[in-house]
A and B are shown apart, each in its own frame.
Chain A
Amino acid sequence: QSALTQPASVSGSPGQSITISCTGTSGDIGGYKYVSWYQQHPGKAPKLLIYDVSDRPSGVSGRFSGSRSGNTASLTISGLQAEDEADFYCSSYATSGTLLFGGGTKLTVL
């Protein structure tokens, strides 16, 4: 199965809101409510931001929110801050019990 599709890069200014998309198929994103989002700063381990499409783990800022429409999931970051600059990855459970990741999106805060 192919990886999920994310834009290579997105950018925004401090205080703005940005959205990162993650496109799959009916066999993954569209078929299961099991989409997660991760943030990874350079040289660090990823951090879970969202699971089960829109749930936030304890301790994750409310500025991060997730949603899904059809075969596309989205991560929205509101009130953009300089420290949000990082790589972001989506993942989804897929048919046959596997887990797919997106290729990653580099967020630049201007």
Chain B
Amino acid sequence: QVQLQESGPGLVKPSETVSVTCTVSGYSINSGNYWGWVRQPPGKGLEWIGSIYRTGSTSYNPSLKSRVTMSVDTSKNQFSLNVTSATAADTAVYYCVRVIVGATRGFDYWGQGTLVTVSS
């Protein structure tokens, strides 16, 4: 079955870059779905970060667009997220997701999430 697994640094210093990678198993990234990232600050709600297609085409949340870059590596069946100039407000559980249809119309598979803490 489709499985997603995030890997990240756990702790990032302010002003540095949050980098998280998602490895997909049981399903090819080339199969035609968009893939994305959603984050959740501790005790708070969900926030969409962006979505990416196998071709590298992206759609980003306008509120984060200036600091976000997403990429895809089809040879490794992985996709990645970078958030630059990190602050405490970027502290969150970062989830990678598969989009059921289109770029944002529903996230049907989720990774378990990885907590990234921004602190000195």
Contacts and interface: CB of A to CB of B under 8 A. Distances in A.
Main secondary structure of the interface of A (DSSP, over half): strand
B110 A45 contact: yes
Interface residues of A, number: 24
Interface of A: 3, 34, 36, 38, 45-48, 50-52, 57, 89, 91, 93, 96-104
A101 B38 CA distance: 10
Contacts, number: 63
Given A38-B46, A57-B108, A103-B45, A48 B62 contact: no
A89 B47 CA distance: 11
A36 B45 contact: no
Given A51-B101, A91-B48, A103-B45, A97 B107 contact: no
B15 interface: no
B45 A46 contact: no
Interface string B58-79: 0101110000000000000000
Nearest to B51: A99
A98 B62 contact: yes
B106 interface: yes
Contacts of A99: 48, 61, 104
B95 interface: yes
Contacts of B105: 34, 36, 51-52, 93
